[in-house]
Structures are given as C-alpha cells and as structure tokens.
Structure 1
Amino acid sequence: MTYARFTGAPLKVHKVTNPWQSPSGTLPALRTGHGEVISVPHKIITHLRKEKYNADYDLSARQGADTLAFMSLLEEKLLPVLIHTFWVDTKNYVEVTRKWYAEAMPFPLNFFLPGRMQRQFMERLQLLCGEHGPENEEELEKELYQEARECLTLLSQRLGSQKFFFGDAPASLDAYVFGYLALLLQAKLPSGKLQAHLRGLHNLCAYCTHILSLYFPWDGAEGPPPRQTPVGPETEEEPYRRRNQVLSVLAGLAAMVGYALLSGIVSIQRTTPARAPGTRSLSMAEEDEEE
C-alpha cells in the first residue's frame, strides 16, 4: 500500500476482514486490469514497476545496491523480532494481536484463524533462526533483540536529518522500512522492549509520522473518504459476497453443533423401547379391529 501511494498507482482498494472475499483466498491480493490475481507482495511491486509505477526510477546504481543491502538487513535482523513481538510474546499475542484479529474477523473465522496464523509465523521464525536449537531459547531471544536494536540504530544513523533515505523523494526502501516500523511504533504493546528503543530514535519516529500524515491522512482522527456506491464492474463482487455470507452461516452452524456435541450439551442416544407384557397381543387386537 505504501509503495503504491509513493508512486501514485491508481488502485481501487477494497478493505476486507475475511480471506474468503479475496480473489486468491489470501491477503493481500491485487487483481490487474487483465484479470490476473497476484498475492505475493514483492510480485505486486514488480507488477507495478512493469506498469511504469517505479519509486526507484531516479536512483543511482549505488543507491540501488544500498536498497538491496538494507532490505536484506531488515529481513535478517528485524523481521524475526517483529514476529516474536507480535506472535510469540504471550502478553502481546493475547492482549493485542489475537484480540485485533478476533474483533475484526467474522464468526466463525475469529475462533481459529488467529491461532493458525500464529502457528504459521512461528514456523517462519524457526526457518529464519534455523541454526539455533530450542534448548537455548532465552539466549536466542536476547541475541535477536540485541541485533534488532542495532539494526534500528543503524537505520537512524543512515536516515539522519533527511525526509527519506535517498533525499526528498520516497523510494522502495522507504516503503519497506515504513512497513516494518509503523506498526511497531503505533501499537499499544504491554511488552514493548524493542518499541521502547524505537521511540528513543526520534528521527525514525518523525519519519514514520511524516509518511502517515502525508500518504495516509485519513487513517488518523479523520475518517476515510466517503464510500461511493460501486458501479459497473464493481457489482461483480455481489454474488461472491452472498456466497461468502451463506458459507459463513453454514460454517457457524456446524461449529455450534460440533461444540455442543463435544462439550456434552447435546448428546445422541439410540435406545430400544421396552415392551410391556401383552403389548404384542394388544397390537394384534388393534390391527384386527381396524381390519
């Protein structure tokens, strides 16, 4: 989103909280003018560049190399701690992350999707730190946070007093850095060791605030622009919306029935009714009378 705003790419944004409403079943997703659906963020940026929306058009070869180096540094040093902060740290996950998704997602997705996402992020963290064993988890955490603080300090020194990393115009590195830092800066975390270090780097804080006010002005106290009634091709989403509503209701009913059966609230028993003495003869007599 930040990269698209930097380049002025004419996107029509549809904010959804249900992955089923995405044309690819995952978020984010971009549907191109030719009907192609792209879901991987770096492939979305590649597509925008092919469409002549290139934030790095004016960069020199040296600046392009610096961009790749800093992106690699962020992914290696900062990303693992961000995953740990939001998805592994128990207090942050329970009080912030899971709460966010549970309140935003429709029933019954809010019951199982946050947990599934947590498992996926924990698997990704294990891949990023694959050489470390589980026996030194505390030592690993201490090392990760130390490297992340050094990474933030290096970013602060590289930015200096500039508006953006390469001068007065934003580039892809700015979108990348902002994507990592904005959430960490804005979230109200009960356990915010790295957040406290970031807030002590005043130029990075001012940098994030500047991008928010300039490129996301309605995401603050002001409301978003009034939503227009969709016309033309936009109406194609209506059948999918109805389908998703029906699927959500059916899934909700199935979840409630399953919970009732598993918890013992409802039970199904098959019994053979006992026959009192003389029942058979009485039944035969009634049949004879009816005949």
Structure 2
Amino acid sequence: MAAPMELYCWKGDWGLPSVDVDCLAVLTYARFSGAPLKVHKITNPWKSPSGSLPALRTEENGVISQTHQIITHLRKQKYNADYDLSARQGADTLAFMSLLEEKLLPALIHTFWIDAKNYVEHTRKWYAESIPFPLNFFLPNRMHRQHVERLRMIRGDTWIEDEEELEKELYKDAQECLSLLSQRLGTQKFFFGDFPASLDAHIFSHLALLLKAKLPSSKLQQHLKTLDNLCNYCVSILGMYFAWDTVASQSTSPKKPQAESQDGDEEPHKRRNQILSVAVGLIAMIGYALLSGIVSIQRGSAGNAVASRAAMEEEDEED
C-alpha cells in the first residue's frame, strides 16, 4: 500500500480549518476533490519538510511547497475538481484567478499585515501567541517582511509609496472585485453551478479568511458582510466540508509560547530544529541584553570582541 500524501499547513482558528489563505486553498481543494491526505496542522514552519507552509510530502515527487504546484500534483493523482468543466469554464477559471491575484489578494495582505492596528492587535499577536518559543520572537516579523515583499511584487510598477493613497487604491480595487464576485455567483451554490471546482477553493480561501477574522480595523470586512450571497457561500462550504474542523478550531485558542514538544515521530529534521531553536534563543537573549544596556562590550588592548500542516485523515499537532 502506497504511503499517504502528507500535508503540512497552518492550524485553524476563528471557525476556520486554517488561518493562512494558501493553506486554506489547498485544504479546500483536497476536500472538494476527495484527495486522501494526512494533514498536520502546525504553528511552526520549521516542522514542515520544506521549512514553509503549505507543504505536501509525496512518495513520487518528494516535497512540494507551492500552492499551485500542490493542486497540480493532486490533479495528476486523479483528484481533479475541474474534471467536468467546459473549455469556457476553464477560461473563466483563469480569468477569475487573475482577478483574485491582482485585486483582492493585495488588499488582504494590506489588511492583515500592513494596516498598523490590525497587524499589532490581531495578526502579530495571534502568531506570537501560537508560534513556540523562541521562534515567536522573530518569525512574525520575518513573515511581515515576506508579505510586504509579496505585495510589492504583485503591484510592480504601480506601487505607491504614500501609505494612505496605497490603502485607498487597494481597498477600492478589492471592493470592486468583491462586488463582481457577488454578481457572478448570484443565487448559485458554487461559481459553476451545483458542484465545486478549483476556482471555488481559491475564492473561498480569500473570502472566508476576511469574513471570519476578528479584525479591529475592518473596512473591507464590513463591505464583504453587506454581500449576503458571498457570506452564505462561505458559511455553506464550511458547513458541508469543514463541520468538524469548525468545531475543533472554535474549541481551541493559541497556547502560551512554550518550548518545542517532544513528538519526535511526527517532526522531520527534529535535531536540526532543536539546535536552531536553542541557537536562536541564545542570539535573541544576547541581542536583547546588548540593546537594553544590560551587557556592554568594551574595547580591550588585544583587539575587539566579536559577537554574531470527505477523506482526509487529519492530525492537529500542538506545539
């Protein structure tokens, strides 16, 4: 019997199976297509075999870490949610995927990672409380920089340095995108009728995250809540495909930062992670001591001193 495919993705919260848009897209597509995955829901990217989330461990192709590559691999394994789509619907899928990437995703990145109030009081707070010590000292800030760079790459030459003007343009594009999606969905169950496709997985991952997150600053979220069919669409998918996940994520909350668990059988590269964790902890403490003036380095006569996670088997891994 072939070894099961293993998916590593961010854990869920706020009634969602995952708090990350890319992980949520992969999880949703797998549910739609019936792909049998063993899911590891974690809060430490270093426990992923690729060092990033989402990541799919396969017997044939090793580790796959890009969302579109993971979905392509599932299609090649005969788990294809788009099998019954027409050529026209296939073209529509590409068009709407591009719309999401160009118009809605930038606003989501800004909402969660750049908006100062949301970032400090919601996003960074959640990750800092969820990621184990000592990684919670620096991973949230590194993720912030990665999302800012991703936004810059999407915007390209249209990047606006003025923060207020950038926010205004991003939110305007996102509101137009949401209104267009609402008009396209209409009274249908899914975007192509009675059965879900890959487009639904991607749209749901963007909308559900925005709908369910407990944001202190919520202009775009409030606009989404005025579009009843999109809200009902998200609630319907959660109820049909993630009922158990919803109960599980609502019954748990981020733990206090603590040391790594000793669950060695489920943690790839365990020794590497332990060594890195200890090293990072030491560096963080030394850096704090130096910056706060607790410890100082004096120049001596001999020279300078140098310092430098339907049919998926799921498994929640608590750090």
Task: State the TM bucket, normalised to the shorter chain.
Answer: 0.7 to 0.9
Corresponding residue for 1:6?
32
Structure 2 match to 1:129:
155
Match of 2:112 in 1: 86
Conserved? CA contact 1:31–1:38, under 8 Å: yes
Structure 2: tracts of 5 or more residues without a match: 1-26, 251-262, 302-319
For 1:55-70, what aligned pairs fall within 5 Å after superposition? 55-70=81-96
Quote the Cα distance in structure 2 between the aligned partners of 1:236 and 1:90. Answer: 39
Cα distance in 1 for residues equivalent to 2:277 and 2:41: 18
2:186 to 152, 160, 175: 160
Aligned residues: 264
TM-score normalised to the size of structure 2?
Answer: 0.76
Counterpart in the other structure of 1:244: 273
In percent, how many aligned pairs have the same letter?
A: 73
Please give the residue correspondences for 1:1-291 in structure 2 after superposition, counting only pairs within 5 Å: 1-34=27-60, 36-132=62-158, 134=160, 136-222=162-248, 237=266, 240-267=269-296
CA distance in 1, matches of 2:181, 2:229: 10
1:207-252 deviation digits (Å, cap 9, x = unpaired): 001111111112323579xxxxxxxxx9754573354234323421
TM-score normalised over the length of structure 1: 0.83
- The structure that is strand-richer by fraction is 2
3-state SS of 1:166 partner = coil
Structure with greater Cα Rg = 1
- CA RMSD between the two structures: 2.4
Q: 2:83, 2:49 → 1: CA distance?
A: 31
User: Secondary structure of 1:256's partner?
Assistant: helix
Change (3 A) 1:263 1:43: same
Distance 2:292 2:119 in 1: 26
Cα 1:168–1:40 shift into 2, 3 Å: same
Instruction: Give the conservation status (yes or no) of the 8 Å contact 1:132–1:140.
Output: no
Amino acid at match of 2:165: E
Query: Larger relative CO (CA 8 A, sep 6+): 1 or 2?
Result: 2
